[in-house]
Chain A
Amino acid sequence: MTMPLLRCLRTFALSPLLACATLAHAAGAPMGYDDARHLLARTGFGPTAAEVDVYAAMPRSDAVARLLRETRTSATTPAPAFATEAGPLRPPARDASDAERKAFLQQQVRYGLAMRAWWVQEMLVTPSPLTERMTLFWHNHFVSSQQKVRVARLMYAQNVTLRAHALGNFGTLLHAAAKDPAMLVYLDSAQNRKGQPNENFAREVMELFTLGEGHYGEADVKEAARSFTGWSLNRETGGYVFRPGVHDYGSKTVLGRTGNFDGDAVLDLLLAQPATADYITIKLWREFVSPDPDPREIRRVAQAFRMSNYDIRVALRELLSCDAFWASETRGTLVKSPVEFVVGTLRQLEIVPPEGLPFAVLAAGMGQNLFSPPNVKGWPGGNAWIDANTLLARKQFIDRLARADEGPPQLSMAAMAQAPAAAPKQALSPQGIAGDEKARAQRLAREADRGLRSVHFDAVAWLGARKTSASGGKESAAQALLLALPPQSPMPAADDALAFVRATLQDPVYQLK
């Protein structure tokens, strides 16, 4: 025991000095505009010039420390009304009438839209973008979907929990997420009973939430499923409840350890595996640093993460301090997610829309329907965000936004009926009750359209507010803010401010961060 621990401590003590040489070298010196832009673009939603200026004056290490210090654990936007109202916490019983089912479905669809509007609104206005980015990260890690959970209040409660722990302790978060009522429904824990286990949660907690594939066997899944029996939810209160009557109190063998494990004990066994820290670190690397995790750095950061007893801030601090994070080759190597793209665009253009819903609908049309990830593995992300369909949805959004001051947009009825495609429809047909999908899609398309009409982008004023510098005029300042790399397409003359900004936003580089 002693030797590995010592070795581990020594590595931990030494390696940050080596790996974070850049930070050490630059200590005290302001990092400048490009570094600050990079840091904020990677950890937020597309910074404004004013935000970049604040961080540009700080050394990198101070900036990272401040970013991690000033994080919220709750939303600033007031909870949507349905979240505090008394309402049904369970779908209608099997013998319910069609009318009851329909009423329930319609209500939950409405709540679901209010919930998406609320979250997008929070992303648009939050002073703590990193909190929302991490909440989104965990939403895509501890996945649940309203499509299966159906009850919007449970999905909302899960979101609140994810935010509370978003930059807290991963172990605490894992235990909370495992007992989260939406999760209990989503992965069938509530159906997992002694003698007749349901393996869904046991498998995914190992494969997707902690160890990753290849670090457990089928027998571990079966035994762990027995440990989780009895975890259920109280449909009256919407809270977690343990049902001793259906818990399997027998001995189980999980990952080579034998004991009368309950669900919490199994989660602790998973946390004790080094594979868990590696797996989470790799995922954080792909979110914040680059598509190609560096094995040596992963080992180092994962070790620090474990040594800190899974303090998420420690993992982030280490990642944001790596040379790889700051390297010029890393810039512009990650694809913005649809939500980052939409919210980031509004934030960077300093457009404050009156409501969030249309923009949630637009992001859904680009392949990211909040509260409805495609499956338990979440959105695959990375380059997979961009295919012909989603790239065109992004370009369409920019085109509409950057034409807003050219009079009302032309959109025929036929076009609206088909606008935001697959993803929103998905959200609106929770399983079991098929509704009029086309009518709903049309309503959502109108929603998106209404949102785009409600905002006005004044390109002349925005471009005019850029600062000229020794290195260039307002146009180059605009591009330095909006683009992570030099533009790839030819730019029109800047005397037409709107055309210039539109071309910048339509440049392929704008898809990247």
Chain B
Amino acid sequence: MNRRHFLRSAVALPLSQAIGGTVATFGNARVALAAAPVNAKYNRVLVLVELKGGNDGLNTLVPYADPVYYALRPKIAVKRDDVVQLTDHAGLHPSLEPLAALWRDRQLAVLQGVGYPEPNLSHFRSIEIWDTASRSTEYLQDGWLTRAFAAQPTPRAFAADGVIIGSGDLGPLAGGGTRAIALANTDQFLRRAKLAQPVPITGNPALAHVLKVEADIVQAAANLDAHYKFRTEFPSGNFGSAIHTASQVIANPSGVAVLRVTLTGFDTHANQTATQSRLLKDVADGLVALRSALVELGKWNETVVLTYAEFGRRPKENVSGGTDHGTANVHFALGGRVAGGMYGATPDLGRLSGDGNPAYALDFRSAYATVLDQWWGVDSQAALAGRFVPVPFLKA
């Protein structure tokens, strides 16, 4: 393999695609690569952290030098003195103070103004757009990672393509084809997995789904163990447990390309301050524990962590001491090979749209492209249905 195979695949493509310029070129490459998964670096791990409900980015990365920010948020703005300053105009919410050390080590990338054109303000539609990497007006069934793994499969010996921890929805791994394992914790999974039996997959879609899940359980259970004893102390609470479980999965020698953990409760329409402070503390403590655990395993340099959410929240606070659904948001990328610093652009609070939201500066699919093209070395075009310029938040 396999120049000949490559050429044959390219030739076999319909003419319409073959003359389609860049798209077709990458389309051809995808066909060839699907049969040749040798170059993908799936031994590198992606950890997705979903801040479900739509975390308020403006109180996460606070533009503490901007008087417009304080004018928009008389009740809920983070006081200048409380901000953990990162630059001369932006700083972290005080609950995120534990991340300051990562920033100093230049392992924390802050992605500003992350969004997409024609934003949708529905939780469900917007997270669907993020999970499927679709355009705002386009409805896709499969998650973006499902498409990526379909185009370029993970090694057969992997325990699973991805592990979803403590959440019912498979998000970016939804749709047919992926080997996605949802579990609450590894011990329980392995204990119960003995009840699963492999049966050939057949029948109507519901039956085929049950049979496939059962087969995936058998494969994952045969390749996962959960006996690593960490010196790292994990925070108590659900998110800390999820981070512990993620660390257990990563400790296994048989691979898993992606893990997703979820923290819920960010839909802060009312009395935001206390809720968000608590949640961001969970985030910071959890991420710091994850780094410690992965450093312990020697895998911190082989891991990139990326946060995401369906949308940000409106700059102007509402009457209930909360914020309504917004658009562009702040996200974090962290890891041993992350090139720390600020990316994207600070939202211009003086220039909000008719519904009171800032324009986006950085398409979320560009962050995905970074993971696909630069982290795993697979073609992002297949998963993202378009060419998105990666955000250079990874070290060369």
Which A residues have a C-beta under 8 Å from some C-beta of B?
A: 188, 191, 193, 195-196, 198-200, 203, 207, 213, 218, 222, 291, 329, 332-335, 367, 374-377, 379-380, 382-384, 386-393, 395-396, 399, 414-415, 418-419, 421-422, 425-426, 429, 431-432, 434, 436-438, 485, 488-489, 506, 508-509, 511-512
Contacts and interface: CB of A to CB of B under 8 A. Distances in A.
Contacts, number: 164
B138 interface: no
Given A333-B205, A390-B168, A391-B214, 19 more contacts: A188-B269, A199-B324, A203-B122, A203-B325, A291-B205, A332-B206, A335-B206, A383-B205, A388-B180, A388-B217, A392-B192, A392-B217, A395-B192, A418-B187, A421-B188, A434-B278, A488-B207, A506-B197, A512-B207
Given A388-B220, A391-B213, A396-B195, A431 B206 contact: no
B263 to A, nearest CB: 12
Given A376-B123, A388-B213, A434-B237, A196 B319 contact: yes
B210 A512 contact: yes
B207 A388 contact: no
A329 B325 CA distance: 43
Contact of A332 (B204, B220, B238, B324): B204
B81 interface: no
Contacts of A419: 188
14 contacts: A191-B319, A191-B320, A198-B270, A198-B318, A203-B325, A375-B123, A383-B205, A384-B168, A391-B214, A392-B217, A415-B188, A437-B236, A488-B202, A508-B199
A387 B168 contact: yes
A344 B35 CA distance: 46
Interface of B: 53, 121-125, 164, 166-170, 180-185, 187-189, 191-193, 195-197, 199, 202-207, 209-211, 213-214, 216-217, 220, 236-238, 264-265, 267, 269-270, 274-275, 278, 318-320, 324-325, 355
Contacts of A399: 195
B235 to A, nearest CB: 11
A134 B394 CA distance: 52
Nearest to B192: A392
A421 B167 CA distance: 10
A17 to B, nearest CB: 29
A216 to B, nearest CB: 11
Contacts of B217: 388, 391-392
Contacts of A196: 318-319
B210 A485 contact: no
B167 A422 contact: yes
A473 B207 CA distance: 26
A432 B140 CA distance: 36
Contacts of B187: 414, 418
Given A200-B269, A213-B125, A388 B183 contact: yes
A391 to B, nearest CB: 5
B238 A425 contact: yes
Contacts of A390: 168, 182
